[in-house]
Structure 1
Amino acid sequence: MGCDGGTIPKRHELVKGPKKVEKVDKDAELVAQWNYCTLSQEILRRPIVACELGRLYNKDAVIEFLLDKSAEKAVGKAASHIKSIKNVTELKLSDNPAWEGDKESTKGDKHDDLQRARFICPVVGLEMNGRHRFCFLRCCGCVFSERALKEIKAEVCHTCGTAFQEDDIIVLNGTKEDVETLRGRMEERRLRAKVGKKTKKPKAAECVSKPGASEESTKTSKVKTGKPEDSSLDSREKKTNSAPRSAVSGSSSGKAGKPPCGAPKRSIADSDESETYKSIFTTHSSAKRSKEESAHWVTHTSYCF
């Protein structure tokens, strides 16, 4: 059980004191924040996106997270506020010419210096390794150092020239205070969007429910604003259209032999029609023949006589 054979134990070996708090290495923490995806813990590779709280992600990891609708999906603090792809912004990063990557370490005989950043500030030239504060513009996605925005004050982006406001500036991998302020702005922005959608819906419903009223109003406005010359032209056209119709109806009634109501009847024999037309009717002289003159209705052979 110990303490035998003449050993003399010390106090720290017998009495257990409180455990020491493990301190996180600052360099390792910076490397994890600026070189690895917050969601998948993989190395950042383009396209790189950032959320409204200033965290860095691979775009592929965010899309897979949004498409995964299974119940077993683990939703942590890193992505609980991402509801759609519109909640992230694709970043426009400037490459660092001094960064060689892992080209010379293919054989494994070289140590990768992760403190050298892959990207830099396009205005000042500071490396984006976590030792300097960086931010991006939510409207265009351009990334700058905070020093560049303070030294060169402008209301337009230094790279693309788009206008921005203070609410569009989001700090990348900021402190707890920065994250709290960004979270408050995010909630306010989403509330405004919801209120805007609710106000637009009733207006659209009113426009859909009253399409007939709008058409009637346009018709009445056209009638009111119409010229007297147009109305006179319309009346003339109606008269000209009614005249040929009446003439056609009169001619058709005469050909059919049906006189209009109230007119005296007349025989076809007294009419001025041709003889071939009169021969169709029984009142013609050709129809008044005797039985001898008329042919037999069965046959014309001599056997029947």
Structure 2
Amino acid sequence: MGCDGGTIPKRHELVKGPKKVEKVDKNAELFAKWKYCALTQEKLKRPIITCELGRLYNKDAVIEYLLDKTAERPHADVVSHIRGMKDIQELNFTDNPEWEGEGRISKGDRYEDMHLAMFICPVVGLEMSGKHRFCYLQKCGCVFSDRALREVKSEICHKCGEQFKAEDIVVLNGTKEDVEKLKQRMEAKRAQAKKTKKSKKSKVAETVAGVSELKEKTTSGPDSQGTCSTQEGSESTAPVPAPVPAPEVAGPSVSSGSSIAKGAKAAAASISKRSYQEMGEKSEVFKSLFTTHTSAKRTKDQTSNWVTHTPYHF
């Protein structure tokens, strides 16, 4: 049985079966994580930053989110754990020499790999396209492949020479298990930071209380202690023995000490009130800046009598 034009239809064209479930290409999904921002889904461009969970973002997008968290964004749950600029790290990538940029012209006369990565590992040379596992160092932000860190074991960064520990290595765009481990590490780190902050505050409060107690003791002095002792003695019924006279010691008496203190205060006051014109170490130019200088004083010839004017005087 034919149709117009003599065509013969096939069975799948006439009989419609169940629709096939669309499957996501795993390679394309992995490549998208390394090429697009996790917040805005735009292409990654420098400066590129990451969080403590190893996701990649454009720096300007995260800054806009931190400035206005009330704005509605489709992927805001991805950055809900970022509280400020201290929770992000700018990454130091190594450019791929085969990458020609987004503006390359395709003439159709050569094969173009659509999954060509912008960055590579500086040690092994693997492309950062999602096929290989990559990590970064929290101390300096340099990015390496996991193979390079396993094969070339060192506590010094291979790119900038910064020292690091095993705890500073964070996996980029890891699996669900990697993300859970990083989340637990992040929560433990923040809890430890809160404890240290509370301990510092308690130490500061203790020091302030100690300083206030010392001030109170110094202000009270021996007079207050003497009055307390006399009060306690008056309350007690036991007789108080007569004081033994102290032996005479050669030296200035209390009255002489008070007179010396008064003389020192008077000397200090006289030094502070001394005029600049009496200081020999000062120059005449410096002395002429003040009204006590002779050039600022008028003679009798220069002074005039007081003259009053009527309101009609112009």
Aligned position for 2:200: 200
Deviation at 1:76, TM superposition (A): 3.6
Query: What amino acid is the match of 2:99?
Result: W
Q: Which of the two has higher C-alpha Rg?
A: 1
Change (3 A) 1:33 1:243: closer
Match of 2:100 in 1: 100
Contact 1:96 1:119 in 2 (8 A): yes
Give the match's secondary structure for 2:147.
helix
State the shift of 1:69 in Å: 3.3
CA deviation profile, 1:22-52 (whole Å, cap 9, x unmatched): 2111332133111111101111111110111
Checking the alignment, whether the CA contact within 8 Å between 2:49 and 2:88 is kept in structure 1 is: yes
Q: Are the aligned partners of 2:27 and 2:130 in contact in 1 as well (CA < 8 Å)?
A: no
Q: Which amino acid aligns with 1:167?
A: E
> 1:63 maps to what in 2?
63
SS for the counterpart of 1:77 is helix
Alignment map for 1:285-296 (pairs within 5 Å): none
* AA at the equivalent of 1:238: G
> Secondary structure in 2 aligned to 1:102?
coil
- Cα 1:240–1:122 shift into 2, 3 Å: same
Where do residues 35-114 of structure 1 align in structure 2 (5 Å cutoff)?
35-70=35-70, 72=72, 76-105=76-105, 109=107, 113-114=113-114
SS in 1 for 2:69: coil
The CA distance in 1 between the partners of 2:121 and 2:113, in whole Å, is 19
Query: Pairwise mapping of residues 258-297 of structure 1 onto structure 2 (< 5 A)?
Result: none
Structure-2 change in CA distance of 1:11 and 1:140 (3 Å): closer
Helix, strand or coil at the partner of 1:60? helix
| Match in the other structure for 2:25 | 25
Letter in 2 for 1:62: V
Match status 1:238 vs 2:260: no
Kindly tell me: are residues 131 and 238 of structure 1, through their superposed partners in 2, closer, same or farther at Cα, counting changes over 3 Å?
Answer: same
| CA shift for structure 1 position 202 | 1.4
RMSD: 3.5
Q: CA deviation at 1:114?
A: 3.6
Structure 1 residue 77: Cα displacement: 3.4
Unaligned runs of 5+ in 1: 1-7, 220-231, 246-305
Q: For 1:235 and 1:124, how far apart are their aligned partners in 2?
A: 87
TM-score of the superposed pair, with normalisation by structure 2: 0.61
TM-score, structure 1 normalization: 0.63
Shift of 1:237: 8.4
CA distance in 2, matches of 1:238, 1:175: 84
How many residue pairs match? The answer is 225
Q: Match of 2:23, SS?
A: coil
Superposed displacement of residue 12, structure 1:
11
Paired with 2:107 and 2:59, the residues of 1 have a C-alpha distance of 32
Matched letter for residue 21 of structure 1: V
Structure 2 unaligned spans of 5+:
1-8, 220-250, 265-314
User: What is residue 252 of structure 1 aligned with on the other side?
Assistant: none
Secondary structure at the counterpart of residue 144 of structure 2: strand
Alignment match, 1:154: 154
- Equivalent-residue separation in structure 2 for 1:30 and 1:75 (angstroms): 18
CA contact (8 A) 2:40 2:75 kept: no
| Paired position in structure 1 for 2:115 | 115
Residue 233 of structure 1 deviates from its aligned partner by 10
CA shift for structure 1 position 109: 4.9
SS in 1 for 2:79: coil
- State the alpha-carbon separation in 1 of the partners of residues 94 and 187 from structure 2: 30
Give the Cα separation in 2 of the matches to 1:92 and 1:86. Answer: 17
Q: Is the 8 A contact 2:53 2:179 kept in 1?
A: yes
Shift of 1:211: 2.7
The 2-side partners of 1:144 and 1:74 are apart by 31
Show the 5 A alignment for 1:179-218. Answer: 179-214=179-214
